[in-house]
Amino acid sequence: MKFPTGYQRTKYACYYTYLAAASVFSLPPILLMTFRQMYDISYTLLGTLVLINFFTQMAVDLIFTFFAKHFNIKATIKAMPLLTSAGLLLYALIPHLFPQYAYLGLVVGTVLFSLAAGLSEVFLSPMVAAIPSDNPKRDMSILHSLFAYGMVSVVVISTLFLEFCGEENWVYLTLFWAVLPIGSFLLFCISPLPEIQLAPPSREGGSRSKWLGLLLCVGCIFLGSSAENTMISWVSGYMEGALQLPKVWSDLCGLALFGVLLGFGRTLYAKLGRNIYRTMLGGMVGAVVCYLVVGFSGNVFLSAAGCVLTGLCTAMLWPGSLILLEEKIPNPGVAAYALMAAGGDLGGSVAPQLMGVVVDTVAAAPWAAQLGAVLSLSPEQVGMKVGMLVAVGFPLLGVVLLLVLGRYFAKRSQKEADPAGNPA
């Protein structure tokens, strides 16, 4: 096999970077309870790490939405993997070498690799879109499918390592994941980087409709991310808490299998997909069904199947929103992708947090104990099921928004084809 050349090598560099970046998203949740036990860090402070991750990525997204022209884009892209490695190194070494400053090390590491994660969301998609290709939709789908497969790899390898090598050796696992992004840096250094448009659509004249179209796409990625990440964040906890499965199996048969189906759905679209709008609409409807099954079913296997099948249904909701953006707003620019990333990150944080609030609130309510007694469930199990039923609102709103978006772009296309509005 020949070593890829030119923009083909650049495309592969983007693919590898997204694959390697999965550790930033998947490793911290696996290690949170380890930190609790080893360093006596409170649940509140552990939750704060999640918020730091979210707000750092959001800050990056918003900065590049409005100030992208002030940055050296190519230098930023090359530095991105080094930030990932540096963040994971500090995340591992400061708590290991200076246990009294363990939380400070986790915070500093989280900020650094969250910066890199935000930059990845901002730059990788528009860079792949800017590379000449005979099938850009396939390339975008492959890019995001590799993130899903990376997530599966991180979950499986990390879970098995901690199970057989002991949680006290977590630092060596983290150092292993810290090495992988260095390959991305080397690939970007020897690959040509395409020119990427920086500015968003103009607000003047007819481009106002493009801004409305962009906002509709941002709404789609927010709701799609909400539907996807609520289950990603809760699938292991739900299987362990509500379905009473052991933790190792909840991780492997829950989160890992969810990731497999997430990646499979994106790979399938890359090979066979043609109509992203219908694919997303079907995915939103499928997610509604899955959440309803999980919330209402009393059968363990049926509930578990609903959890993991959500991965297949939500597979194209995030990348599909980006494909829609490219289809409806040609050359949208880095700022538009950054705004899309901000919408996705917001959904990926707000929705799982809402689920947690619902679970805690319902579990503490007197009626949950009464209902649980009837259904042979604990109040916490009732809370989790109610949380899943509340979460169904995100894909349900997604169905509505997609129908609105479809009508809007159909009318806009008709108007652009016949500006005078003459009857056929």
Q: pLDDT tens, 94-145?
A: 999 999 999 999 999 999 999 999 999 888 988 998 898 888 888 988 898 8
Provide the mean pLDDT of the chain.
87
pLDDT band at 411 (very low <50, low <70, confident <90, very high): confident
More confident residue, 4 or 174: 174
Q: Is 369 left (phi over 0), alpha (psi -120 to 50) or beta?
A: alpha
Say how far apart CA 363 and CA 369 lie, in whole Å.
8
* Whether residue 215 sits in one domain with residue 170: no
pLDDT at position 364 over 70:
yes
- Please tell me the total count of domains within the chain: 2
| Domain boundaries, position 262 | 202-412
pLDDT, residue 272, reads 87
* Whether residue 181 sits in one domain with residue 225: no
CB atoms within 10 A of CB 56: 20
**Percentage of the chain exceeding pLDDT 70:** 93
253, 361 Cβ separation under 8 angstroms: no
Say how far apart CA 48 and CA 22 lie, in whole Å.
20
- The pTM for the full model equals 0.82
pLDDT, residue 1, reads 46
pLDDT band at 283 (very low <50, low <70, confident <90, very high): very high
Quick check: helix, strand or coil at residue 153?
A: helix
Last residue of a domain, one of 131, 166, 193: 193
Q: Which helix (H) or strand (E) holds 236?
A: helix 208-241
* Cβ contacts of 339 within 8 Å, gap of 6 or more: 61, 65, 200, 214, 218
Last residue of a domain, one of 147, 168, 193: 193
Handedness of CA 253, 17, 395, 411 (dihedral sign): negative
Which residue in 169, 144, 156 sits closest to 236, CA to CA? 156
CB atoms within 10 A of CB 407: 10
Expressed in angstroms, the distance from the first to the final Cα of the chain is: 55
Say how far apart CA 251 and CA 237 lie, in whole Å.
9
Cα 383 versus chain centre, distance: 25
Last residue of a domain, one of 142, 168, 193: 193
pLDDT at position 205 over 60:
no
Domain annotation covers residue 95 = yes
pLDDT band at 315 (very low <50, low <70, confident <90, very high): very high
Domain annotation covers residue 3 = no
